[in-house]
């Protein structure tokens, strides 16, 4: 069959790369894709948010399965539009994507259905939010309700920081309509991990756990980014905790969505905070994580196309996923300045040498081609991913590959995976 992957990041390169390995897949199309996905399949210049354009393309080309990478087209209703046109598509409906699209919705669902999460209050009035801050003890976590490209969460150590965050989101409207409502949440201590599963609405199949590194600088310092690197497995998720998370978070959430009349199929991604062997949900995402997908799919031994197709057809109970015992690490290389303003257009050198290394795949994210050369075009540029016998070996291979790649202003964290060495 022909498959279509929607998106243009490292996650989508990894999805396309893995789908291409399936005997069920005859060709892969990526819309809009990047120079890395062009090595795996055919890039189609249709933006990820152009639902009508994508649907027409899928019909015309006879696409057998569409896999949606980013959250925006999901919350815009791409799955509903494709299904109405009789197309097979992997991802949650518009109503189900609210789980990521609205933090108020997801918090209220968790409270109603007894899913462990931090205490919170919601506000649609900045004065009431400020009054709440006056009468409670910091730290606080202030969150815009809607999608804010990963920037709508502010950790506030003091009341003053909380007041500034409230003003930024509600008065200055830094995230537009996404900040019409906010939640103020209890600050949770602990270690973060990403727990992802695929579901057809009934059966929930966990993916290998992973850990992301959100801060831009070593030692988890500096501003938060979309993710500076990730590894899998994540030792903080012990087999006992994984089974607990399935029983207390993943399965109950899928059931809750069914009860709420928003049956959930696709990827359910729980961002967890773990303390004393117990997990609480920080947030839900309705899609695969970026960069977690890169190490997770590097370890997947089963046929991804088969699993996603069965999820679409409601036959996920027939699927059991097999994982490599090896460790995978993805080191994200970024443009100088990211997550603030950054430079574009720098020529990237050493991609071919890095790709020649054994057990290494260089996933592209913010890259473009210019006069036959690969140049930077985004904040997160590459996800250099390696498989190794344990953390130390995977780290060594990933950083050896990183060392072969260069451009003016390239930045990366030197401590990806260190937490797993402890």
Residues that bind ligand AMP (CB under 6 A): 118, 141, 143, 153, 155, 185-188, 192, 214, 271, 282-283
Rounded to 10°, the helix 103-112/251-259 angle is: 100
Q: Least distance from C-beta 147 to ligand AMP, angstroms?
A: 10
Residue 12 binds ligand GLY, judged by CB under 6 A: no
Binding partner of 153, given ligand AMP, ligand GLY, none, CB within 5-8 angstroms per partner class: ligand AMP
Residue 227 binds ligand GLY, judged by CB under 6 A: yes
Q: Which stretch binds ligand GLY (CB under 6 A): 239-247, 282-290, 381-389, 394-402?
A: 282-290
Closest-CA residue to 189 (of 274, 282, 124): 274
Check the CA dihedral 237-316-76-110 and report its sign.
negative
Residue 212 binds ligand GLY, judged by CB under 6 A: yes
Binding partner of 285, given ligand GLY, ligand AMP, none, CB within 5-8 angstroms per partner class: ligand GLY
Residue 285 binds ligand GLY, judged by CB under 6 A: yes
Q: Least distance from C-beta 148 to ligand AMP, angstroms?
A: 9
Q: Which helix (H) or strand (E) holds 248?
A: none
Near ligand GLY by CB under 6 A: residue from 70, 289, 378, 383: 289
Q: Least distance from C-beta 226 to ligand GLY, angstroms?
A: 6
* 365 Cβ contact partners less than 8 Å away, ≥ 6 residues apart: 8, 9, 10, 13, 34, 36, 290, 332, 378, 380, 381, 382, 383
What DSSP line would sit under 146-169, residue for residue?
S--TT--EEEESSHHHHHHHHIII
Rounded Cα–Cα distance for residues 323 and 346 (Å): 37
**Residues near ligand GLY (CB under 6 A), total:** 7
Q: Which stretch binds ligand GLY (CB under 6 A): 52-60, 196-204, 287-295, 414-422?
A: 287-295
Q: Say how many Å lie between the first and final Cα of the chain, rounded.
A: 44
Structure token pair of residue 89: 């598509």
Binding partner of 187, given ligand GLY, ligand AMP, none, CB within 5-8 angstroms per partner class: ligand AMP
> Nearer to ligand GLY by C-beta: 179 or 295?
295
Binding partner of 283, given ligand AMP, ligand GLY, none, CB within 5-8 angstroms per partner class: ligand AMP
Q: Which stretch binds ligand GLY (CB under 6 A): 164-172, 288-296, 328-336, 405-413?
A: 288-296
Tell which positions 233-262 bind ligand GLY, by CB under 6 A.
Answer: none
* 44 Cβ contact partners less than 8 Å away, ≥ 6 residues apart: 4, 29, 30, 31, 32, 33, 57
CA angle 148, 73, 101 (to 5 degrees): 40
Closest-CA residue to 375 (of 338, 339, 405, 400): 405
- What is the arrangement of strands in the sheet containing 204-206, beginning at the earlier edge strand? 204-206, 191-199, 266-275, 278-285
Report DSSP state, residue 37: G
> Nearer to ligand GLY by C-beta: 220 or 393?
220
Binding partner of 282, given ligand AMP, ligand GLY, none, CB within 5-8 angstroms per partner class: ligand AMP
Residue 200 binds ligand GLY, judged by CB under 6 A: no
Q: Least distance from C-beta 231 to ligand GLY, angstroms?
A: 12
Binding partner of 12, given ligand AMP, ligand GLY, none, CB within 5-8 angstroms per partner class: none
Rounded Cα–Cα distance for residues 292 and 379 (Å): 17
Closest-CA residue to 4 (of 31, 22, 25, 23): 31
Residue 292 binds ligand GLY, judged by CB under 6 A: yes
Q: Least distance from C-beta 212 to ligand GLY, angstroms?
A: 4
Q: Least distance from C-beta 9 to ligand AMP, angstroms?
A: 17
Closest-CA residue to 224 (of 115, 307, 340): 340
Rounded Cα–Cα distance for residues 359 and 354 (Å): 10
Residue 379 binds ligand GLY, judged by CB under 6 A: no
Between strands 65-68 and 2-7, the pairing is parallel
Q: Least distance from C-beta 133 to ligand GLY, angstroms?
A: 27
Q: Least distance from C-beta 399 to ligand GLY, angstroms?
A: 20
Binding region for ligand GLY (CB under 6 A): 212, 226-227, 285, 289-290, 292
């Amino acid at each position: 069959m022909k498959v279509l992957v929607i998106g243009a990041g490292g996650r989508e390169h990894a999805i396309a790369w893995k789908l291409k390995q399936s005997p069920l897949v005859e060709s892969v199309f990526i819309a809009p894709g990047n120079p890395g996905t062009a090595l795996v399949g055919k890039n189609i210049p249709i933006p990820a948010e152009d639902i009508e354009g994508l649907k027409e393309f899928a019909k015309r080309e006879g696409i057998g399965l569409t896999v949606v990478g980013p959250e925006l087209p999901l919350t815009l209703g791409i799955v509903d539009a494709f299904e109405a046109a009789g197309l097979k598509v992997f991802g949650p409906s518009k109503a189900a994507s609210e789980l990521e699209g609205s933090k108020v919705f997801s918090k209220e669902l968790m409270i109603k259905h007894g899913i462990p999460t931090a205490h919170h209050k919601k506000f649609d009035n900045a004065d009431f939010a400020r009054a709440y801050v006056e009468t409670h003890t910091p730290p606080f976590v202030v969150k815009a309700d809607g999608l804010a490209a990963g920037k709508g969460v502010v950790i506030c150590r003091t009341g003053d920081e909380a007041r500034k965050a409230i003003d930024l989101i509600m008065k200055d409207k830094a995230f537009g309509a996404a900040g019409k409502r906010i939640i103020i949440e209890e600050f949770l201590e602990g270690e973060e991990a990403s727990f992802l599963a695929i579901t057809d609405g009934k059966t929930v199949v966990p993916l290998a756990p992973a850990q992301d590194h959100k801060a831009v600088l070593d030692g988890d310092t500096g501003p938060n980014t979309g993710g500076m690197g990730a590894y899998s497995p994540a030792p903080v998720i012990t087999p006992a905790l994984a089974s607990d998370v399935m029983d207390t978070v993943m399965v109950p959430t899928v059931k809750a969505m069914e009860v709420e009349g928003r049956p959930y199929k696709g990827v359910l991604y729980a961002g967890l905070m773990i303390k004393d062997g117990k997990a609480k949900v920080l947030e839900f995402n309705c899609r695969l994580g970026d960069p977690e997908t890169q190490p997770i799919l590097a370890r997947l031994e089963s046929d991804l196309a088969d699993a996603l197709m069965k999820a679409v057809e409601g036959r996920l109970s027939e699927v059991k996923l097999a994982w490599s015992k090896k460790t995978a690490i993805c080191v994200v290389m970024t443009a100088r300045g990211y997550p603030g303003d950054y430079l574009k257009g720098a020529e990237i050198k050493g991609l071919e040498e890095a790709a020649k290394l054994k057990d290494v795949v260089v996933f592209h994210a913010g890259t473009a081609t210019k006069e036959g050369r690969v140049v930077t075009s985004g904040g997160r540029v590459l996800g250099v991913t390696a498989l190794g016998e344990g953390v130390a070996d995977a780290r060594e291979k990933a950083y050896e590959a990183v060392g072969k790649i260069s451009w003016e202003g390239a930045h990366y964290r030197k401590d990806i995976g260190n937490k797993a060495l402890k």
